[in-house]
Amino acid sequence: MKIYIAGKLETEFERKMLDKVDTLCKSLGFKTFLPHRDVGLAKDMNDTEKIFNGDIKEGFKGCNLVVALLDGLNVGAGTAWELGYAYAKGIPAIGLKTDEPIEDALDTLSSILIESMPIVTSFDELEKELIKRRK
């Protein structure tokens, strides 16, 4: 089973959190696609085609599940797009929001994201959700 790991990539902290999700997924026997590791980061507008082709056209190939880090004041345009794309393709997703209770996150997540996937609030909860989906 292959997991696409989605989330904001702007700061080193955000990338380290995604790396932590990756480590957990791999420890449970999943294959992973991690955009900043597997494709890289866009440095300028010349990188957009490479990023889109790598992240979406290649990254989603054979993907069975998306795990999306949802922390922060907004989800991020790329993460929201990836989640919508996964939903449209029938690929289930799990959200991870560690910085506030889901009940308090309506303004940062939106009803659409909240209703489109289970959202867990800790790495322990994520591990339990992943174990349930392991084939």
Average pLDDT over residues 27-32: 97
Q: Is the pTM higher than 0.85? A: yes
Q: Distance of CA 64 to CAs 25, 86, 92, Å?
A: 13, 9, 7
Measured between alpha carbons, how far is 74 from 67 in angstroms, rounded to an integer?
16
Residues 74-92 as b or e (16 or more Cβ within 10 Å = b): ebbebbbebbeebbeeebe
What is the count of structural domains for the chain? 1
Please determine, for residue 135, whether its predicted confidence score (pLDDT) is greater than 70. Answer: no
Summarised one tens digit per residue, pLDDT across range 73-83 is: 899 999 999 99
Predicted local confidence at residue 79, as pLDDT: 96
Predicted local confidence at residue 120, as pLDDT: 97
Predicted local confidence at residue 61, as pLDDT: 96
Residue 21 belongs to a domain with what CATH number?
A: 3.40.50.450
Predicted local confidence at residue 108, as pLDDT: 85
As a whole-number percent, the residues of the chain with pLDDT over 90 amount to 88
SS3 content of the chain, % helix, strand, coil (to 5): 55, 15, 35
Predicted local confidence at residue 102, as pLDDT: 87
Please determine, for residue 101, whether its predicted confidence score (pLDDT) is greater than 90. Answer: no
Domain range for 78 is 2-133
CB 6 within 8 A of CB 32: no
CB 57 within 8 A of CB 89: no
